[in-house]
Chain A
Amino acid sequence: MKIITPLLIATSLLIGCGADNDKKKKDFKISQDSYAVQTVASDYSSSQVAIGNLIGDRSATQGLLTKAESNFTISTYENNLYHIGKNQIDAISRYDATQSVSNSEWAYGANHDDEGSANTYTLVQQNATNGYLIRYGSTFVLQVDPSAALEENFVKAKIDLSAYNYPGSEYPRMVDAVIADNKLFVALQRLDGWAPKPAYIAVIDIETNEEIDTNIQEDGFKGIPLNATNTFSLVEHNGQIYAAGRGGYNSDTGGLDVIDTTTYAITQLIDESSFPQLIDFSDDDNNSNDSYYHVLDVAVVSDQLAYATLNIEIGYKTIETKIVMINPSTKELTILSQPTAINGKEISDLNIDSNDRLWVGIANADAPGIWVMDTDTNTISGDFIELDMPAKRIEFLTVQ
């Protein structure tokens, strides 16, 4: 019994601390304009959000909104941060970043009478009471009221885009959207399995939720046919919409289109002939050793200055990402070789802040983080923002 007693005591002590898991939430709020970045672990086993100041000391506060899943993204509107669970999560939470980035104002489902996972990619917000959930795995855009205090009042209407389903597919794969001229522009990838097919932008009249026919003279879809396939990103600036499409997954290059929001005229800024030096194609029936660039993202400063990422891939392997500087007016393209800090890196996201600085998400697993660049000189602004995990999406919050 002498031996038993201390062992039992030890066991009892362990039992006493065994029942509950102490999961302390990290409470945080912002007091000035800030950036927010969704980061994801390299093995996709967890994710977290990081937030920091837009100017001055930009060091990131990490460990916010930690999740055991990786399929999360963020959207922002003024001081509101939306944490969106995508495929097989289908939930959206809103946080007033000036009050708390731990306790949500509300948490609602992003599925709505859907058969499978709606896989919400983003919330595009027009004003305090009107926004749109863009859902990759659904045929419907959900018009929502972000100010709804009850979930039953969250969804206001559904906009059906099933006409754009590629034959044999169950949904058109809407990937991004922007609002301009009181219209909602929705990018639709329209993949056939993994094979990219003609992509479109559907244009919705916000007043009526009806689709606008952008080309009355022709039969077919009402939307705007894009030159580049497999659209990944839409950005709007001054009445122009920039659509970046990566093309196929191990072949062709995709490109960058710009669309006038009034006339719907489309101009291609980047195509497969833009950078022949970045293509290495050997006609040996083995596409795993061919090198292509893929246009994944775009960020716009002005009518004369924009940036896009060119992801250099061999087979399915990313070699590096280059940034190309674009003059949309003259269509001049320049691959940036400066600053050297971004050379040879894998870049996951671009965004422009309110000070016209370019935010570059570095996704290299050994040293993930963000570089901020002054776009008038294409030089680094401030220190490298170190992150624990690669950034997936960079957004901005403003203190009202």
Chain B
Amino acid sequence: MRILLLLSILLLSLNGLANEEIHLGSLTVGASKKDLMNSDYQVFQREDFVNRYQNLASFLQQKNGLQIQQAGGLGNPALVSIRGASASQTTLLVNGISANNSQHGGYDLNTIPLNQIERIEISRSGSSFDLSDQAIGGTINIITREGANNQNFSLNLGSEETLAASFSSSFDQGLSIQVDHEQSANSYDYPVPSPIANSSQRNQDQPLNNAEFSRSSVQLVQSFEEISARVRLNKQSKNIPDYFRNHPNNNASLDKQDATFSLQGKHKLEHENTNSALVSEHNWQVFHQKTNEHYQDDMGVIGLGKDNDKFYQTRSEAQWQSKLLFEQWQFQTQVSGYEESFSSRYLNDDDSFLCSTPQGNCDQKAYQQGIQALAGVRWANKKQNQQITIDVYQSHTNSYNRKRSSTKDSEEKNKYFIGYNLKYSVFNDASETHFSIKNSNRQPTLYQLFGDRGLLLGNPDLLDETSLSYSVDNLYSINDRHQMNSAIFYRQLKNAIVPVYDSRGVGRYENSKKAYLAGIEWQWRYQGDHFYSHLGADLYQSESLDDNVKSFNNKQIAGIYHNSVSLITGWSQQQHNIELINRINANIYIDRSNLIAGDNYHLTDINYQYQYSQISLGFSIKDLMNTRYKDFTNRPAIGRQWIVFTNFNF
């Protein structure tokens, strides 16, 4: 690994020669200059990630201040932590609609293939008039493609029998289609704790059985001048491996189908008056999604018995946003409402009908409805070197459930929250600095309120998690080629929702008292004619304060690497681009009681891309040195993975 670091340094030092001696050819590939942006709010375009990374998680993993949480191979949900917050405290939006599941609060970064993504927006410290960020950690907004200008076909092949193919095409009258498929056997070597063939051969490396994954999706977009309609169908199947014994007869699986329809409109009006131009923009969106999941475990290998469970979920949402621009002032209002329902059927479990199990298996239907109103104002001085942004919003949610064995709904739980984002920004020729205060919340999920399908009962009295964050983000352009991003932040968190079990082993979610997390994030970027380099580090310090649970009190927040360093070095010349990524993650506790320190590790990835006319080829190798370590779940990491990309535009 040190050789690779030295190679990176060599590439860096060679740049001193490269700038003077190499004639700049037609640069068709390379680091996008749009990478050079403030850590507070970032926007990435297609050329930043398409044909360079396997999926969205792989792309975001390179970004400062973000930690990807994905255990296991392709198909396992990929979550993201922003600025040390938990994955559930991050909001993932798809075209402005929350992808966070009210049922279990989760999302999967990789649900939408990279080829279907037009743009990715990331907000950390609070309000941007372009991206409403109300999450405790931060918000990621994925904007999907709307009408390809040509036909595009891509094919990726990788280790563990990984295959991904996508096709997109546009037709007349604004109609476009995107079709994607990906699959993987995920049969990587895994140290099986108690192999079924011989339980005394503990931690013997074996190819993982029953870990296959496949996903197919199709998206149709019909765009008109001010209105677009989008339909997306997704079907996926993930086999669940038996990590403990690697049973050859294990056939546990989770199948999922979802259908999404959205309609959105954007209207821009210019209102002329005698002296000044008044511009207003009005956006609206309606959205409906239906998801069916089926979990089966005929052998009873994974859980405590045989499972045949079905879960159904629907979500409908409507949003209206109006913006008004008048001289130095911008105003915005936003109103949104949603309804989400979740129902479960545990077909093999008679006790679940009566909800009489301490596991929390309960045939029920749960509902959550919410409305939110937001008002925001932004003012910039005449010199445009100062800016003040204020957002205030109020949200109201209502949750209740009905057990299948009951004829009555449970007591409704109503919650109100008033949040705000305040930002003061200063700009000059070389730098911009943002001072932010963000007051945010995260509502308990329906599982946390009404029962988890694991070993946890519901707790309808749970309070929202709330946080107050202070941050200073700075972007300093040293010169045309050197840029420095830095951020310092402090977050107070209250009422974090944690699972707590009693002496019988029956658990439910409880609110812990409070925690704080402070951090420094910085990144130095160099962008040369051919060579580019990013060096960055995240350093966090945290403490949880919980006198309800003694072993959690005065402990570091678990599940987050508190020290991270990354060095990205790349070279682009003519049709070639090669990139070497070194990452070090350290200082993590697996458990809240801080008994178990997780592994520190150093990973090296390499990406290569060749562009010729309308064809691009490339490969990516993750974990080049096949490092052995345990991930944030304390499970052995997969190890080296490779993928070969091909992409055709025609």
Interface residues in chain A, defined as those with a beta carbon under 8 Å from any beta carbon in chain B: 1, 3-4, 7-8, 10-12, 14-15, 17-21, 23, 40-48, 63, 66-68, 88-91, 108-109, 111-117, 151-152, 170, 193-195, 249-251, 287, 296, 311, 316, 318, 346-349, 361, 363, 365-368, 388-390, 392
Bound Cα distance A114, B199 (Å): 9
B199 and A41 contact, CB distance less than 8 A: no
Bound Cα distance A109, B193 (Å): 10
B597 and A45 contact, CB distance less than 8 A: no
Contact A68 B600, CB 8 Å, known A43-B500, A109-B202:
no
B599 and A21 contact, CB distance less than 8 A: yes
A3 and B524 contact, CB distance less than 8 A: yes
A66 to chain B, nearest CB (A): 5
B357 and A109 contact, CB distance less than 8 A: no
Bound Cα distance A179, B508 (Å): 37
Judged by a CB distance under 8 angstroms, whether B504 is at the interface is yes
A170 and B300 contact, CB distance less than 8 A: yes
A364 to chain B, nearest CB (A): 9
**Among A111, A151, A361, which residue has the most Cβ atoms of chain B within 10 A?**
A111
Bound Cα distance A41, B501 (Å): 8
B524 and A7 contact, CB distance less than 8 A: yes
Judged by a CB distance under 8 angstroms, whether B349 is at the interface is yes
Contact A3 B478, CB 8 Å, known A19-B602, A68-B634, A249-B357:
yes
B327-378 contacts to A, CB under 8 A, are 349-351, 356-359
Bound Cα distance A193, B306 (Å): 10
Contact of B358 among A116, A194, A388 (CB under 8 A): A194
Bound Cα distance A12, B482 (Å): 21
Mark contacts of B524-566 with chain A using CB atoms, 8 A cut-off: 1 yes-contact digit, 0 otherwise: 1010000000010100000000011111100000100001010
Contact A194 B351, CB 8 Å, known A21-B599, A68-B590, A109-B199:
yes
B410 to chain A, nearest CB (A): 10
- Closest 3 A-B residue pairs measured CB to CB? A348-B503, A45-B591, A46-B591
B548 and A366 contact, CB distance less than 8 A: yes
16 A-B residue pairs with CB within 8 Å:
A11-B565, A18-B600, A46-B595, A90-B194, A91-B194, A109-B202, A111-B245, A115-B196, A117-B245, A152-B200, A193-B350, A316-B358, A318-B506, A349-B503, A361-B503, A365-B551
Contact of B356 among A10, A250, A361 (CB under 8 A): A250
Contact A366 B549, CB 8 Å, known A20-B600, A46-B593, A311-B504:
yes
Bound Cα distance A366, B591 (Å): 17
Q: List chain B residues, Cβ under 8 A from A7.
A: 524, 535
Interface of A is mostly: loop
B side interface size, CB within 8 A = 67
Contact of B595 among A63, A115, A363 (CB under 8 A): A63
Interface of B is mostly: loop
Bound Cα distance A111, B350 (Å): 30
Known: A4-B535, A40-B501, A66-B595. 19 other contacts (CB 8 A): A3-B478, A14-B586, A41-B592, A41-B595, A42-B500, A42-B552, A43-B507, A45-B591, A45-B596, A46-B591, A68-B634, A111-B199, A117-B244, A287-B356, A318-B503, A318-B504, A363-B503, A368-B550, A388-B550
Contact of B592 among A14, A21, A43, A91 (CB under 8 A): A43
**Among A21, A40, A108, which residue has the most Cβ atoms of chain B within 10 A?**
A21
Q: List chain B residues, Cβ under 8 A from A346.
A: 502-503
